[in-house]
Structure 1
């Protein structure tokens, strides 16, 4: 015959069961509260990311034409030229200043447009590849013609940047020899490998040939 259960033991068993049941209920409620509270805790972060970024106004001359624009202060000159002014001749390559495809002239000096903040160019004069021979009936720039004469391109993607950099190189007085041209054009990458012909074209335009 099984041993009888005393009142104390029964009371103790019930207490343990009650405790476990209560603990489960409390834990479930805590999890539920956490799920409910989660979105409210994340709300300030979401609100912060949805704030309008700081903007500024810039007025500059591009290829002889005055432009004014309200832009995000983080906008690069490259994105301003391509996306707002429609001047897509300036190419986006690495977007990190390593390939030179985006080279333009700012106040006569060559710069990587992808690394240049547009908002800092108030009053500047910018020249892009479109500004070298703006009209179809105009003669090509001597370096543009030299690129054709020397067959200095294949896919052509880097060509606008190469030409703008070559013009800057000539103006800076760094086109006295093939070695000097290679050194001062080294920031412009040609993935097709037309370097010899590019140097020949810069030499031709500089009057070295």
Structure 2
């Protein structure tokens, strides 16, 4: 199968890679670019473990072809921290014990950040609705909701 050249911006940095026509963005991120934060949980877009931002939209990278990243802006979990300083969401996930095995955590963090950028003060109901596409089988959702609400309050300066 012929290789397709892709030029994209990931976490603010330009990247170029080759992929096949049937290769997913998730596979390109993990296997071609070494960005292993997004995980494959289901491969069908049902679990959210592979969530990334693509041109400002939250997407399951297992459902996007790598070639569709041509000219796109992508944000992954690897771009969330600022150097050695964790993003408030990351810190609050640790503080509230809102993670265990770590498979779902990157996708939930990317989704939560996307929500807080659109709505910095979501209700619990809005937060639960927004994160409904991210499945967690270890932690349970109460700790996750508390962590996101606590981070949101910090980010608003409350």
TM-score > 0.5, shorter chain as reference: yes
Aligned residues: 155
Q: Does 1:121 align with 2:121?
A: no
Aligned to 1:87: 35
Helix, strand or coil for the counterpart of 1:101?
coil
Give the TM-score normalised by the residue count of structure 2: 0.90
Question: Whose Rg is larger?
Answer: 1
CA, structure 1 residues 171+154, in 2 after alignment: closer, same or farther (shift >3 Å)? Answer: same
Aligned to 1:184: 130
**What is the alpha-carbon distance in structure 2 between the residues aligned to residue 98 and residue 155 of structure 1?**
18
**What is the alpha-carbon distance in structure 1 between the residues aligned to residue 141 and residue 96 of structure 2?**
11
**What is the alpha-carbon distance in structure 2 between the residues aligned to residue 204 and residue 108 of structure 1?**
24
Contact 2:17 2:33 in 1 (8 A): no
Aligned to 1:150: 96
**What is the alpha-carbon distance in structure 1 between the residues aligned to residue 52 and residue 80 of structure 2?**
11
- TM-superposed CA distance for 1:134, in Å, is 5.7
RMSD (Å) for aligned C-alpha atoms: 1.7
Could you list the per-position Cα deviations for residues 25-68 of structure 1 after superposition, in whole angstroms to 9, with x for gaps in the alignment? Answer: xxxxxxxxxxxxxxxxxxxxxxxxxxxx2442210011222111
Contact 2:4 2:21 in 1 (8 A): yes
Give the TM-score normalised by the residue count of structure 1: 0.69
Contact 1:133 1:139 in 2 (8 A): yes
Aligned to 2:118: 172
Contact 1:175 1:202 in 2 (8 A): no
CA, structure 1 residues 118+174, in 2 after alignment: closer, same or farther (shift >3 Å)? Answer: farther
Aligned to 1:106: 54
Q: Does 1:139 align with 2:70?
A: no
Query: 1:7-18 maps to which residues of 2 (within 5 A)?
Result: none
Question: Which protein has the bigger helix share?
Answer: 1
Q: Does 1:56 align with 2:4?
A: yes
CA, structure 1 residues 134+91, in 2 after alignment: closer, same or farther (shift >3 Å)? Answer: farther
Could you list the per-position Cα deviations for residues 173-194 of structure 1 after superposition, in whole angstroms to 9, with x for gaps in the alignment? Answer: 2752111100111000001142
